[in-house]
Structure 1
């Protein structure tokens, strides 16, 4: 196994094995993702709340994405995986739940929005309470693959039908794509869980589709948002 010599400030050298270097990289990337995840969906939230519009956004797509990240949190917590391998999930849960709530709220479905918030809160409590057997949590985690892909593809289909991406945020979409790509490495190195790694591979591919659509429909989206703004001010 290869070794690396690193010079420390006091002038001495320390020897690091290849495995130690990989672990250090994985931990650094893992905690970097956790820190950035606290802000990754804020651009999307700000865009929706500032415009008071959720046009172009799919509630079903956001809800399926929310279920995927929720199952990941409960499963990783139950398995006691290193926090650096899944710590961004709780932040993404809160942000995705907020986006789903405002999609309903700004679609003039306030009662449905409040019902969703109450029901989802009960679900989270049940999953992290320890009452759900680990085997059940494993099967829920297994559904992350179709959920991660289907949720994004529902949004992608809506973009294709509309010929624009509405209030979808380019910053959030790109950061989610980059985060999924990084998580493939950290998951394999820190947990060795191929099921979770496969989920991140699928999610990365699905997020890439959304990023590509944002650029492809850029002109159409700007024209749509301009028309929407004029309607509100007229």
Structure 2
């Protein structure tokens, strides 16, 4: 008798929208998701209870997909996933969170891997033709500034270890440029002198000097791109310049632009990173459009 009454109440609720359902009556429909359809049909603004299915037949539909696991693990919290892909609602806070996470990944890729494709290309081709030594030296200086700053301020290694990796890769690129130009001994002496200079600056330099170096690293990086673009233009060729390294540098610049806009609010840093991104676009165009360069030389 009670079962018949319960079904009658459910039918009335479904057909007329009048009355209310008890928790037990709502639980009848949780297994197959029928309650969600009834709420949609009724147009109710009442929030749905979270349904947990225990039916073996529903395990495939209720189990989280690999796509959801990836997004929730790396890009967004589960509540943002529900808003985007279940409720189809573009929430501003969630969008900013996802953009921050994506830009963080771009910055990490730039910091860790931007120099690696260039290094591997030089080793693979056994040549450093087309690479500007001045540009490489400016990059070496730019990447050494954060390392000196971190050591001087006794930051833990995990806070600047990726900068040390980038610095090591860039130092290897400078040495290979000298090596393939027949200047092996000057290259070795330069690396030894550079290592000693880093140690002395990090250990004994005044705080004002360290701060000035940190402030000058971004202008040095921008200048390095200007010199490399000028070398490409003069040679009518990009030589052994790695397109992947340029692409990662451009992506990292986009990440820094977003961070400077959203978190720091420093307009000078934003303008500097924007200029850096534009120069990376110029280098990328030079690498990806060699036909235009050849036609110009002809």
Q: How does the TM-score come out when normalised to structure 2?
A: 0.58
Q: Deviations over 1:32-75 (max 9, x none)?
A: 53256333222211110111110111111111111112113433
Q: Is the 8 A contact 2:229 2:282 kept in 1?
A: yes
The within-5 A match list for 1:1-234 is 6=79, 22=96, 26=100, 29-30=103-104, 33-34=107-108, 37-75=111-149, 88-129=162-203, 131-187=204-260, 189=262, 196-218=269-291
Q: Structure 1 residues 160, 85: closer, same or farther in 2, change over 3 A?
A: farther
Alpha-carbon distance in 2 for matches of 1:80, 1:177? 30
Please identify, of 21-30 and 63-72, the stretch whose mean Cα deviation from structure 2 is larger. 21-30
Of structures 1 and 2, the larger Rg is shown by 2
More displaced 10-residue stretch of structure 1: 134-143 or 44-53: 134-143
> Matched residue of 2:79: which SS?
strand
Shift of the 54–133 alpha-carbon distance from structure 1 to 2, 3 Å rule, reads same
Cα distance change of structure 1 residues 201 and 94 upon mapping to structure 2, 3 Å threshold: farther
- Structure 1-normalised TM-score? 0.72
After superposition, what is the alpha-carbon deviation per residue over 1:125-184, rounded to whole angstroms, capped at 9, x for unaligned?
A: 23333x323322222233234312221111111111110000001111111111111122
User: Relative to structure 1, is the Cα distance of residues 7 and 162 closer, same or farther in structure 2, using a 3 angstrom cutoff?
Assistant: closer
| 51-60 or 33-42, larger mean C-alpha shift | 33-42
Q: Is the 8 A contact 1:27 1:186 kept in 2?
A: no
Alignment gaps of 5+ in structure 1: 10-16, 222-234
Stretch deviating more after TM superposition (137-146 or 151-160): 137-146
Equivalent pair of 2:218/2:272 in contact (CA under 8 Å): yes
Change (3 A) 1:216 1:98: same
Q: Secondary structure at the match of 1:6?
A: helix
Higher relative CO (Cα under 8 Å, sequence separation at least 6) belongs to 1
Name the one with the larger strand percent: 1
Q: Report the equivalent of 1:228.
A: none
The alignment covers a number of residue pairs equal to 210
User: Does the residue aligned with 2:181 lie in a helix, a strand or coil?
Assistant: coil
Call closer, same or farther: CA 1:74–1:193 in 2, change over 3 Å: farther
